[in-house]
Amino acid sequence: MELSELLWLPEPTEVSLLIQTVHVYVLIVILLVLCFYCPYLVILHVMLRLENNQEKDPLFWNTWAQHTLKNALTLQKLNQNTAKNLILFLGDGMGIPTVTAARILKGQLSGQSGEETQLEMDKFPFVALSKTYNTNAQVADSAGTATAYLCGVKANEGTVGVSAAAVRSQCNTTQGNEVTSILKWAKEAGKSVGIVTTTRVNHATPSAAYAHCVDRDWFSDGEMPAEAVQAGCKDIARQLFENIPNIDVIMGGGRKYMFPKNQSDVEYPGDKKHFGTRKDGRNLVEEWTNRMKNKKAQYVWNKRELLSVNPNNVDYILGLFEPGDLPYNLERNTETDPSLTEMVEVAIKILRKNPRGFYLLVEGGRIDHGHHEGKAKQALHEAVEMDRAIGRAGLITSIYDTMTVVTADHSHMFNFGGYTPRGNTIFGLAPMLSDVDQKPFTAILYGNGPGFKVINGLRENVSTLDYQGTNYQAQSAVPLRMETHGGEDVAVFAKGPMAHLLHGVHEQNYIPHVMAYAACIGQNRDHCMSSGGASSLSPALPSLAALLTLTRLLC
């Protein structure tokens, strides 16, 4: 008798529904046990083969490939459930070379050679490429791209939440050109919504989720030209609290933009660069606290306060952990500054209480900053931390009712090469000298940026430097104070309901349309109802086949 016959689930009737539910819960328990142990067994199996030098045996590669093929064949039964929850992980500046290098780093941090390691995003069954250009830029910026993957329309560089008819810094082109985001579509559908970022909460990526602004740098009215304020344009921090009332979760940096000019910061009271910036005298945090006083709401500004939150007793949270961006993960004070993973876990535990589900935007924003500064080590550790957050989110959600997408807004002029041997530290030297200047070079290099240095008319000898240091600036071909973005396509990883719709090569603005379609929100609702008024998408109750499929994917 086949296994599927032994574990047969009856057709739902008033009597059999109870039996089906019991079967499902038993299978879930079995699955959880398998899920816990199987990844470790696979890793142990691979490591043992590596240790025994069995990579030289064709059987090793053939067996591994056949195992991968069997897993791929299980994907022929597509997950067409309705997505109750939507999560978008956005690695700012996380181009494909960054993904590859982060994978190697993750493995090397665990004592492996690195190349054979799997990132959490590598485990997603569907992968696509996204074309990142802005309507007026071949190489994009983070604002125009955020408008694409959040609002569903391509836009000009430097603008957020407005169409390409709006012109950067021209206030009078705002009105009438506003476009709404998937975060708003989700909120209007009754879902809880959240934003978590390692940058300022009013930075380019998160701001496109709620703001309509012709200049990404208008963080508060203190950064706006007087004529724009007089013309009625609103700064981004103000729009965070006014445009979409009651965003359930807001976490990141940007505290100083919420307070009156010259008001000292709670964490750095003597440091003037962290003082408030608002010229209108408003205290946006105090206004939020007063408005939410009759709701289960909490404002936090450090890790201790965040981790003391009981998600069962809090429905709304505003967490502003720094005056500006959060520190790099390598420089984070682990006692006072929360990690991205910690913020994501609290966010999901608050949001998932809503029976209608949630939408969550998570940004690993400082990958981008590390690259701009030519500090590859900072950037790659940021990427590894975001991958850790992806893994944590996967543990506390389900692929049956949660669509998770991981992508980047754009790439960078970052790469690595030089015929390095297997297991070479990702921050190490290439195994050869230049055949032009007879000097060593690191595997990681930038096409442009601050790492360009000439000593007595010759390229600097990197062997005299701490090239594996946290803030080492990798050499670049062209001198620039800040390294630039790259223009190539970026990867899109997807799992969960309707994830198969992310395939091939797509325009970046396609992403929110797919996510909305999966969740039956926004303009994508007609397909969700059959002629009799019932949902035409499959419910998210896990079937036996789906449970077995997941087990095979994980094991």
As annotated, the active-site residues are 142
HSE value, Cβ hemisphere, 13 Å, CA-based, for 104: 21
- Quick one: CA dihedral 328, 359, 163, 170, positive or negative? negative
203 assigned ligand-binding residue: yes
CB 283 within 8 A of CB 259: yes
Of 499, 519, 524, residue with least CA distance to 79? 499
485 assigned ligand-binding residue: yes
∠ at Cα 475 (474, 479), nearest 5°? 120
Dihedral in degrees, nearest 10, Cα atoms 160, 165, 170, 173:
-100
Q: Which string of b and e fits 520-535 if b means at least 16 CB within 10 Å?
A: bbbebeeebeeeeeee
Query: What's the token pair of residue 299?
Result: 């404002």
CA 112 to chain centre: 25
Distance separating alpha carbons of residues 547 and 199, to the nearest angstrom? 38
CB 144 within 8 A of CB 179: no
271 assigned ligand-binding residue: no
How would you write 220-259 as a 3-class SS string?
A: CHHHCCHHHHHCCCCCHHHHHHHCCCCCCEEEEECHHHHC
368 assigned ligand-binding residue: yes
372 assigned ligand-binding residue: yes
- Quick one: CA dihedral 220, 224, 230, 235, positive or negative? negative
409 assigned ligand-binding residue: yes
DSSP3 helix / strand / coil % (the chain, rounded to 5): 40, 20, 45
Distance separating alpha carbons of residues 30 and 59, to the nearest angstrom? 31
DSSP code of residue 95: -
Of 211, 198, 203, residue with least CA distance to 247? 211
410 assigned ligand-binding residue: yes
Query: What's the token pair of residue 186?
Result: 């989700």
Of 516, 202, 167, 492, residue with least CA distance to 365? 202
Query: What's the token pair of residue 494?
Result: 């997807």
- Based on the number of CB atoms within 10 Å of its own CB, is 76 exposed (0-12), middle (13-18) or buried (19 or more)? exposed
Distance separating alpha carbons of residues 197 and 210, to the nearest angstrom? 14
Strand, coil or helix: 183: helix
Query: From its phi and psi, is residue 520 left (phi > 0), alpha (psi between -120 and 50) or beta?
Result: left
Distance separating alpha carbons of residues 145 and 226, to the nearest angstrom? 27
Distance separating alpha carbons of residues 80 and 514, to the nearest angstrom? 12
Distance separating alpha carbons of residues 103 and 387, to the nearest angstrom? 9
Which residues are annotated as part of the binding site for Mg(2+)? 92, 203, 205, 363
Q: What residue numbers does the annotated binding site cover?
A: 92, 203, 205, 363, 368, 372, 409-410, 485
Binding residues for Zn(2+): 92, 368, 372, 409-410, 485
